[in-house]
């Protein structure tokens, strides 16, 4: 899988007129096709250069993808993954050559997949080797606040990622739990709630963290209120009802950020699964005093733990009801790690399914969970081992690329921050698709085929079309000049 990655290249940018940028009309009508497919060596491989030619009304028996660049929707903020303690610790167990390879793979715009977005944890999370806090017991004034723990691995790792991304890496931060003494159960694990008397101390804690990290040279783009606020986990967790989150944002966190000069930081509520997304968004955002502080609504994909499928309709309903707020996919990974499944093609297809539907539902940014884990799916201090796009075998210093990496890359490598989503509609359900108009005027269309059959189709744009074929279990990015 690895061998074609370094050799893959992006299409060089062409200059377009202001009118072309406005209408999305490409200058030459040339379509460059890049493909990743199961049971092949194709990984971001250039497989065809097509030409759009005149084609009026398609017939009903044809399969077509209809693209309309004149209809524009949300603007892409970025795509990336989480820079956790686990990822950082694993990174520093690798030889220097493999560290460089990993950074190139994720953050290089030409040789890699061009990540521009990131997340990290405030205090410990399940993907830490242990539990820890930045303050001493009962220090409500936060006088003992100290991030020395993070300086060993995580802060240097984040700086390496920022450097590899050319300084263009928007980082948001999320807490899994307040310190134990601030909580109703006196435990950072197993749920519990923030005690009312510590709401101001906890709001000030976010400020301390952001300002301290920024003094270390790590700009913070935004923050979420609480990771998974309705889940009582065996790891770090804290429960908020919708009303409790609303009131904490309205009366404590929002005003504190503003008072401390951090009002421009992007504040994200919910940060949990799609299934309760609308309920949380409506309770918080229908309160004007709370909504003024909220930039976006974050969501995860783990609603499937109840036995159902991914609830993309929930995302659409929130986008329709609250068009002035931003939807962000803040976390997703495939659980129950098994080293023998590293080559399982279904891993990547779950990413493709989610990303296409999330973007088509109005999502402006998409964040994978850990960018790197070890051969056990950790480290993780509670045994919650999971998959990542790239795994390190710390026993021999090797890196293993799952096809998650390639599926994510078919979006992050080609769709740039600032791109506007446009219409892309498939005439058959065998193909999934989304499309964007990049800032340079190029149109990017992603097409996924999760079936066992090849699917011939035409890419049709305003009376012009190019014929091509979607390979079985493949994802393709088509770039139109």
Structure-block tokens of residue 299: 């969501």
Question: How many C-beta atoms lie closer than 10 Å to residue 48's C-beta?
Answer: 15
Question: Distance of CA 135 to CAs 59, 271, 325, Å?
Answer: 67, 24, 34
Assigned token pair, 338: 């098994």
| Strand locations in 238-314 (E) | 266-273, 296-300
Edge-first strand listing for the sheet containing 398-401? 372-373, 390-393, 398-401
Q: Which two tokens stand for residue 224?
A: 């979420």
**331 labelled catalytic:** yes
Count of CB atoms situated within 10 Å of the CB of 384: 17
pLDDT at residue 102 in the model: 98
Q: What is the pLDDT of residue 77?
A: 98
Provide the pLDDT for residue 396. Answer: 97
> Up-side HSE of residue 107: CA atoms within 13 Å toward CB?
26
| Positions in the chain whose pLDDT score sits under 70 | 1-28
Which distant-in-sequence residues (6+ apart) come within 8 Å of 277 by Cβ?
270, 297, 299, 311, 314, 315, 317, 318
One of 160, 331, 349, 404 is an active-site residue; which one? 331
The per-residue pLDDT for range 270-286, each reduced to its tens digit, is 999 999 999 999 999 99
Report the pLDDT value the prediction gives residue 19, as an integer from 0 to 100: 32
Residue 454 tokens read as 């090849």
Give the per-residue pLDDT at 349: 98
Q: Could you confirm whether 197 is annotated as catalytic? A: no
User: Please, what are the domains in the chain?
Assistant: 30-74+422-480 (2.60.40.1180), 78-417 (3.20.20.80)
Mean pLDDT of the chain, nearest integer: 94
Q: What is the pTM of this model?
A: 0.94
Can you give the pLDDT at residue 116?
A: 98
Catalytically annotated residue among 89, 101, 160, 228? 228
- Cβ contact 451:472 at 8 Å: yes
Helix pair angle (154-164, 96-107), 10° resolution: 50
Q: What count of other Cβ atoms lies within 10 Å of the Cβ of residue 262?
A: 17
* DSSP string of 226-272, one letter each residue: -SSTT---SSB-----HHHHHHHIIIIIHHHHHHTT-TTSEEEEEEE
Going from the C-alpha of 203 to that of each of 133, 143, 149, the distances in angstroms are: 15, 15, 21
Distances (CA, A) of 6 to 108, 110, 148: 10, 9, 36
What pLDDT is recorded for position 14?
30
């Amino acid at each position: 899988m690895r061998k074609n990655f370094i050799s893959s290249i992006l299409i060089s940018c062409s200059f377009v007129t202001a009118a072309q940028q406005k209408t999305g009309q490409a200058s030459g009508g040339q379509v460059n096709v890049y493909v990743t497919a199961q049971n092949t060596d194709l990984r971001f491989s250039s497989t065809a250069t097509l030409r759009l030619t005149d084609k009026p009304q398609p017939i009903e028996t044809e399969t077509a993808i209809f693209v309309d660049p004149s209809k524009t929707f949300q603007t892409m903020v970025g795509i990336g993954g989480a820079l956790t303690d686990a990822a950082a610790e694993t990174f520093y167990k690798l030889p220097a050559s493999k560290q460089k390879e990993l950074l190139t793979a994720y953050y290089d715009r030409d040789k890699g997949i061009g990540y521009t977005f990131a997340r990290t944890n405030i205090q410990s999370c399940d993907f830490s080797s242990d539990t820890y806090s930045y303050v001493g017991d009962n220090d409500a004034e936060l006088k003992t606040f100290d991030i020395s723990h993070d300086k060993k691995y995580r802060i240097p790792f984040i700086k390496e990622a920022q450097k590899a991304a050319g300084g263009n890496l928007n980082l948001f931060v999320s807490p899994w739990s307040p310190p134990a003494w601030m909580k109703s159960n006196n435990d950072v694990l197993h749920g519990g709630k923030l005690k009312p008397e510590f709401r101001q101390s906890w709001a000030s804690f976010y400020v301390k963290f952001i300002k301290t990290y920024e003094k270390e040279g790590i700009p913070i783009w935004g923050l979420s209120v609480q990771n998974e606020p309705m889940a009582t986990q065996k790891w770090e967790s804290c429960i908020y009802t919708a009303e409790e989150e609303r009131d904490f944002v309205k009366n404590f966190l929002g005003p504190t950020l503003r008072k401390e000069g951090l009002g421009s930081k992007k504040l994200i509520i919910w940060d949990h699964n799609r299934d309760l997304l609308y309920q949380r968004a409506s309770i918080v955002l229908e309160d004007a005093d709370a909504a003024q502080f909220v930039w976006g609504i974050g969501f995860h994909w783990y609603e499937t733990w109840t036995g159902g499928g991914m609830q993309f309709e929930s995302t659409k309903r929130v986008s329709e009801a609250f068009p002035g707020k931003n939807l962000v996919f803040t976390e997703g990974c495939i659980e129950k790690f098994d080293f023998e499944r590293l080559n399982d093609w279904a891993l990547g297809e779950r990413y493709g399914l989610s990303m296409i539907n999330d973007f088509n539902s109005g999502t402006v940014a998409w964040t994978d969970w850990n960018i790197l884990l070890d051969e056990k799916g950790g480290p993780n201090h509670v045994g919650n081992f999971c998959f990542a796009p790239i795994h390190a075998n710390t026993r021999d210093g090797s890196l293993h690329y799952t096809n998650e990496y390639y599926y994510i890359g078919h979006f992050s490598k080609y769709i740039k921050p600032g791109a506007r989503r446009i219409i892309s509609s498939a005439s058959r359900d065998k193909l999934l698709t989304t499309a964007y108009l990049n800032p340079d005027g190029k149109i990017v269309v992603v097409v996924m085929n999760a079936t066992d059959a090849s699917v011939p189709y035409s890419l049709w744009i305003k009376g012009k079309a190019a014929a091509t074929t979607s390979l079985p279990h493949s994802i393709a990015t088509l770039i139109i000049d």
